[in-house]
Chains A and B, each alone.
Chain A
């Protein structure tokens, strides 16, 4: 088995290659300190090519494409999910879609606290989901949500339990969590991006169970904001 994994749900462009024994290699571009415009479209394909070359594998050997489907950056998700679908279609292999918030939570499965995965949704909002430890991993205990930092803080306040908050949403809105005091800890930059090793590990397990889908079935996870028609007064000239 050779697995190619992609996650572009944040500014970070992530590519990972893994086989049944574990990870072969990975490429990450666009870290939290990168202030240039996000370049998912320009960097993803070269990053895949470089990662394959350095790991000494050919794309033709790939047996499944795993992809983080968000929620997250619209432009990033479109690039990542489309690339995964097109590669899988042309290689005639299945796709393994995994929510990017799950990839943030999984590396914190050893914490004995509520794990709160967040992704910056822009416009002073974030995507989040809550997780609890279960043997071998984490289990999601909330819906995938979209709201303001205050909405999330109110939710954590109401739950009243110790929590560990990860993801770039928690970095951007770190100040919002201060009123929660010592009950809530922020996981910091090391846990800012959906984990590529989690992507490799979770996708490998799903590949073994043949829990995957056809490229045409894969969609990005967009949590929709309220929609409204634009009030155009287009005059016929």
Chain B
């Protein structure tokens, strides 16, 4: 069930939504980011990490696969784009990464099979983007699982500032 569908006008606003989501997260939470190259997944992750007290620069983890950041809550930023087999997800110790950290996964839809059901999915779409308006993004945010159904009001309140599209 889609919880929120927001339209952002630029990278700063996409990061701000990331920050709003981040403000609601606890150790053990998983956020899955989906969107084409250039959609703003890393931009969203930057905002999210900022909300968790990460002060280091957050960069795309495509080539490191897993990047860890220290914060109020530690953050693991994962990019599975270069992985070819599910076994490589296990070899990363993926489920161990979740312990004591907030984990953000880019391109996570491809490994949905092995992802915990308790998670937030963020789909960043570029529908309707034109040359004049190429920073416009549509963000769909879905919180799944029983724990999130109890925490949903807090997340909704944090996202209310951005208004529904």
Contacts and interface: CB of A to CB of B under 8 A. Distances in A.
A123 B114 contact: yes
B93 A229 contact: no
A122 B95 contact: yes
A227 B114 contact: no
A127 to B, nearest CB: 13
A74 B91 contact: yes
Interface stretch (A31-39, A83-91, A132-140): A31-39
Interface string B71-97: 000100000110111110011110111
Contact of B27 (A35, A73, A226): A35
Interface in B83-121: 83-87, 90-93, 95-97, 99-101, 110-111, 113-114, 116
Given A74-B93, A75-B93, A228-B113, A38 B87 contact: no
Given A73-B93, A74-B93, A122-B95, A225 B87 contact: yes
B100 A36 contact: yes
Q: For this complex, into which size category does the number of interface residues on chain B fall? A: 20 to 34
B110 A38 contact: no
Given A74-B93, A122-B95, A227 B85 contact: yes
Interface of B: 27, 37, 74, 80-81, 83-87, 90-93, 95-97, 99-101, 110-111, 113-114, 116
Sorted nearest first, the 6 A-B pairs with minimum C-beta distance are A122-B95, A37-B100, A74-B93, A75-B93, A227-B87, A228-B86
26 contacts: A11-B99, A35-B27, A37-B99, A37-B101, A38-B100, A73-B93, A73-B96, A74-B90, A75-B93, A75-B97, A76-B96, A224-B87, A225-B87, A225-B90, A226-B86, A227-B85, A227-B87, A228-B85, A228-B113, A229-B84, A229-B85, A230-B80, A230-B86, A232-B84, A232-B110, A234-B81
